[in-house]
Structures are given as C-alpha cells and as structure tokens.
Amino acid sequence: MGDRERTILPPDPEGLKRFEMSPERGFLPQPAPAARLPAALAPWQELAAELPKRLLAGRLGSAVRGLPLLEADAAETERDQRAAMRVLSYLAHGYVWERGEVRAELPAVLAEPWLEVAEAVGRPPVLSYASYALDNWRPLDPRGPIAAENVAILQNFLGGADEDWFIAIHVEIEALAAPALAAAGPAQTAAAEGDTGGLAWALEAVADSLEAMNGTLRRMTEHCDPFIYFHRVRPFIHGWKGQPALPHGLLYRRADGGGAHRQLRGETGAQSTIVPTLDALLGVAHGPDPLRAYLDEMRDYMPPAHRAFLEAAESGPAITNEVVQQLSDDPVLAELRETCLHWLEAFRTTHLEYAATYIHQQARGSAANPSDVGTGGTPFMPYLKKHRDETATTRRS
C-alpha cells in the first residue's frame, strides 16, 4: 500500500451508496438496468434488437455502416449512459467478430459515440463485464429474488439458452455476493476495535455468501453446454489486446477520417469486483509477476465506484491468520476464516475446471477464437491455477 492512507469500508448500508453497492444486490444496479435507450437513440436500439438475426445471416456489417452518426449526449442520465454502453458494446463486438471475419477497423458511426459514452461511464470502449452482466438483465418477477430463473437477459449476440444461462449465472452470483460485500466493512471495523463477536458474525456472513456463490457456479452446466459456449457464445466477447487475430488492436475511426488504434482486453470475470475484494479482506496475496500486473489492469474495466470500493477494502485491515490469533485464542474465529478461504478456493477450483472443459479442451475454432488464450488476452490456464494455489497457500499460512 505504500503511503496510502488507511481507511475502513463503511459498515452501514447508507455509507455503501457512494460505491454503488447495496447489501441486497451487491454491485448490481438498483433500480434494474434500463431496458431501452432514449427515443433519440432508437436506431441503435433497433439494430441491437436484430443483432442475433443479422449475425446469423451475416448482414450486420452493412447495417452498422448505414447507421446515422448520433449524438451520444442524448443519453443524459447515468442509467441511460450505461444502457448505451451496453448496446454500443454489443454492436461493436458483433461488427468486429461477425462470422469470424475479424474487422480491424470500427466505423465512425459506432466509434465516435462509443468513445464518448465510455468516457462518461469511466470505462474503456470495449465490451467489459459491467455491460455484459451487471447492466444486462431485468427481473421476470420484480417481487422475486435475483436468480438465474428469474432474470431475462436484455441483449444477446446469437442468443439461445446457453448464452442466456451463462450470463444469468453471473448475475445471480453477483446478487449472492451482496452479504459478503456488505460484511466486509463490519469485519474490518471489528478487527480494528478488537470486537471478536462482531468479527465472528461478519466472517460467518462471508462464508455463507461464498457457499451460496459456489452452489450457483456449479449450476453452469445445467443449460450451458461447453461446445455451444465455445463456438457460439465465446467468439464475440474477445477484445483486441493479446488477441492473435488483432495484433495491432482495433482502429477507432473518426468522422473526419482520422482515428487511432487501441488495444483493450475482452470481457472476463476477472473484471468483477467480488473476488478481488474478498482477497483483500481475507489476506489472499498475489505475487509481483505478470499475473499481478494483469489483475491490476482489470480494475480499469470496473465501474469507477466499484474500483473505489476495492481500493478501500485493500486500504483497511486484512483478516489474516495473524490478526485472528492476536484478537482471540478462541478457535471459532480461526475456523470461520478457514471456512471462508475454503469456499473461495472451491470457487476458483470450479472456475479452473470450467476453463478446462469449456475452453481448453475444445478444438480450436479459428484464429479469432483460440483455445489457449482467454477472452482477456492471457494464457488463462496457468493464471487460474496460480489464483487457486495462492488461495490454498493462504489457507495454510
């Protein structure tokens, strides 16, 4: 942390609002994401609604080039801006990766407004986890829980049960993480004040939340087949950094004929703020190597308020084994921390297994969809294994 001022996450729901986080939904927005864009941006909305049909027919490119150059400031509210970011991200990725042809240049009718909207929401102009999952759902029954069976995905590429389920599982995991995230502040406060009872309560909440997240992650195979995922879902979420098919990145063309190349990572779960926050809380450290640099880079793709939450978590006390021993000789605290780390390790183990079956063991479809490079542009198998092993090492420390 260097000379960074030490802080503690707020222990109350009101204090969490500035991080766009709540004890009920975690990092999922409240109210739910806007399903439609303002009327002035209807051409984007209408083309996005046809995205699955046009991608199947190979007729998206001409439709994109025929779009009018719209003013992005028609999305005035933050909610509308995030919806515009979702729609433009899908249109752009569909255009770049249509039928695996790989277009290396984005026309100004998409590039210019996308750059403006990306700046407004504080994220790079590329499809990231926030647009793919956090801002891409609506409840089927508003009175019911945020669960995979009770959310409809707002935007698809090719569509189908496998694509919907893949995203819906992530949405449910985000909701289930809410109690753990809300307990992070009370845990840090209890540790700082020597309140063993408060710390025990907070760690139990984290453990229960992580156990529930594991249960939902294990349901991925119910409606998302590895073959379908690799060949129909994954091809569109690649970015243009560390991507063999776009070694120079993507050219974002300007209306005046100019433009600039950008190299940006594709959508990946590493852009979710949940696990890095729990790593910080439980003292799971990642060594100073290329993996550490990659994880730090992923923060640029998080919504700014969520990134601030993570930084606040890191600047407060970590619930390490040493801290637990200093606070109490009671083995209950140590057992609770062990349980938290057990479920965090289990979550990473399942993720590693899915990476093997859903990606690594699939036949390489094309240069645009390699089975040895992740959508974030990294050799994902060694990285995920290292994540898992570092969590296991923390358990034994």
Summarised one tens digit per residue, pLDDT across range 92-138 is: 999 999 987 899 999 999 999 999 999 999 999 999 999 999 999 99
Whole-model pTM: value is: 0.95
Residue 46 lies in a domain: yes
Segment among 119-128, 262-271, 353-362, 363-372 with least mean pLDDT: 363-372
Q: State the Cα–Cα distance between residues 223 and 221, nearest whole angstrom.
A: 6
Segment among 38-52, 225-239, 289-303 with least mean pLDDT: 289-303
Domain span at 388 = 13-396
Asked if 315 contacts 7 with a C-beta cutoff of 8 angstroms, the reply is yes
Residue 8 lies in a domain: no
Residue 143 lies in a domain: yes
Residue 26 lies in a domain: yes
Q: What pLDDT is stored for residue 6 in this prediction?
A: 52
Q: What pLDDT is stored for residue 11 in this prediction?
A: 78
Asked if 223 contacts 163 with a C-beta cutoff of 8 angstroms, the reply is no
Residue 115's CB: how many other CB atoms inside 10 A? 20
Residue 163 lies in a domain: yes
| Mean pLDDT, residues 166-180 | 98
Q: State the Cα–Cα distance between residues 365 and 362, nearest whole angstrom.
A: 8
Residue 7 lies in a domain: no
**Domain total for the chain?**
1
Q: Which residue has the tokens 């479920």?
A: 343
| Mean pLDDT, residues 226-243 | 94
- Max alpha carbon distance in the chain (Å)? 70
DSSP 191-252: HHHT-HHHHHHHHHHHHHHHHHHHHHHTTGGGT--HHHIIIIIGGGS--SSS-TT-TT-EEE
Burial of 141: CB neighbours in 10 Å, binned 0-12, 13-18, 19+: exposed
Quick one: residue 58, left, alpha or beta (phi over 0 = left, psi -120 to 50 = alpha)? left
Residue 4 lies in a domain: no
Does residue 202 register a pLDDT over 90? yes
Residue 3 lies in a domain: no
| Mean pLDDT, residues 4-29 | 84
Supply the mean pLDDT for the chain: 92
Confidence of residue 3 (pLDDT cuts 50, 70, 90): very low
Q: What pLDDT is stored for residue 231 in this prediction?
A: 92
Confidence of residue 142 (pLDDT cuts 50, 70, 90): very high
Q: Which residue has the tokens 């898992």?
A: 388
Angle 212-214-216 from CA coordinates, rounded to 5°: 75
Sign (positive or negative) of CA dihedral 226, 228, 231, 236: negative
Does residue 144 register a pLDDT over 50? yes
Segment among 10-24, 82-96, 119-133, 354-368 with least mean pLDDT: 354-368
CATH number for the domain harbouring residue 207: 1.20.58.480
| Residue among 298, 250, 271, 244 nearest 115 (CA) | 250
Does residue 396 register a pLDDT over 80? no
